[in-house]
Amino acid sequence: MKNISVIGAGTMGNGIAHVFAMKNYKVNLIDISQASLDKALATIEKNLNRMVAKEKITESDKNATLTNITTYTEMKEGVSNADLVVEAATENVDLKLKIFKQMDDNAPADAILATNTSSISITKIASVTSRPDKVIGMHFMNPVPIMKLVEVIRGYATSDTVCDTIMKLSSDIGKVPTEVNDYPGFIANRILMPMINEAIYSLYEGVAGVEEIDTVMKLGMAHPMGPLQLADFIGLDVCLSIMRVLYDGFGNPKYAPCPLLVNMVTAGELGRKSGVGFYDYSAGGKDWILSPKFKK
């Protein structure tokens, strides 16, 4: 594999493009918005400059990485020579099905089609293509250039050859791939999201406050970030969406999203991305404080 196309220039897409380009793959980064593409390139360059400053890479490495990335606003042109297409669009099932149909129509017949979804069924996504055996999940973690894990998800029809290829490719770009099967939430979010939801329930029921819940998990369980702060980082809307996938997929009441989570999302308090969630990020940068709503 030499040519990688990445669809979606947001946080995950630009991170995936960054990682492949650093390992000397030719990357076509595709988004319908030229402004999003320009912002993605600026983000990648900023992150590379940080690596140069820390002497993790050279100026030459940075320039080579940027040279490896070409941007497109049209999918047909952007995937025409792809060996692998990685979709990293918004976590919306209808949007992903539409994109995969377009990917299937425009990518070479032998190209592997991968999705960065964190919870949507690979089998369902594959069903709209003519090559379900070549559809697979590559769930990168955020921030992509730093986090080592890639959750590799086999759909019902994914071939052994395709799975083996993606496992090896993930290792080749410096990641640690972990193979899982296609059931709601896969492994990462099947375990993580109920923990976050339970932390929100504990707050909702008055068991403990935001800072107390996060402190217990950080100092008692050695988590680098408490579950409520992590929920803010992920996006409360994303957390709610994944909980609904789990609840719909299993029909088990233990996956019912906490009413407090539902209310916060309905009110537009989505965490870091909106400026406020369980914590208040309106000061910008690394400065954040407890949200006034949760002060005692």
The yes-or-no answer on residue 118 being catalytic is yes
Choose the catalytic residue: 28, 151, 241, 291.
Answer: 151
Which of these, 289, 260, 259, 258, lies nearest to 272 by C-alpha position? 289
pLDDT at 162: 98
In tens digits, the chain (296 residues) has pLDDT values of: 899 999 999 999 999 999 999 999 999 999 999 999 999 999 999 999 999 999 999 999 999 999 999 999 999 999 999 999 999 998 889 999 999 999 999 999 999 999 999 989 999 999 999 999 999 999 999 999 999 999 999 999 999 999 999 999 999 999 999 999 999 999 999 999 999 999 999 999 999 999 999 999 999 999 999 999 999 999 999 999 999 999 999 999 999 999 999 999 999 999 999 999 999 999 887 789 999 999 87
Distance, CA of 136 to CA of 163 (rounded, Å): 7
What CATH topology corresponds to 3-181? Rossmann fold (3.40.50)
| Residues facing residue 86 across a β-bridge | 6, 114
Choose the catalytic residue: 18, 68, 119, 139.
Answer: 139
pLDDT at 287: 83
Q: What is the DSSP string of 100-155?
A: HHHHHHHS-TT-EEEE--SSS-HHHHHTTSS-GGGEEEEEEPSSTTT--EEEEEE-
The yes-or-no answer on residue 151 being catalytic is yes
Choose the catalytic residue: 3, 14, 106, 118.
Answer: 118
Cβ 88 vs Cβ 12: under 8 Å: yes
pLDDT at 284: 81
Choose the catalytic residue: 14, 36, 68, 189.
Answer: 189
Instruction: Report the SS3 class of residue 64.
Output: helix
pLDDT at 67: 98
**CATH code 1.10.1040.10 for 189-290:** yes
The yes-or-no answer on residue 189 being catalytic is yes
- CATH 1.10.1040.10 in the chain: give the residue spans: 189-290
Cβ 24 vs Cβ 10: under 8 Å: no
- CATH 3.40.50.720 in the chain: give the residue spans: 3-181
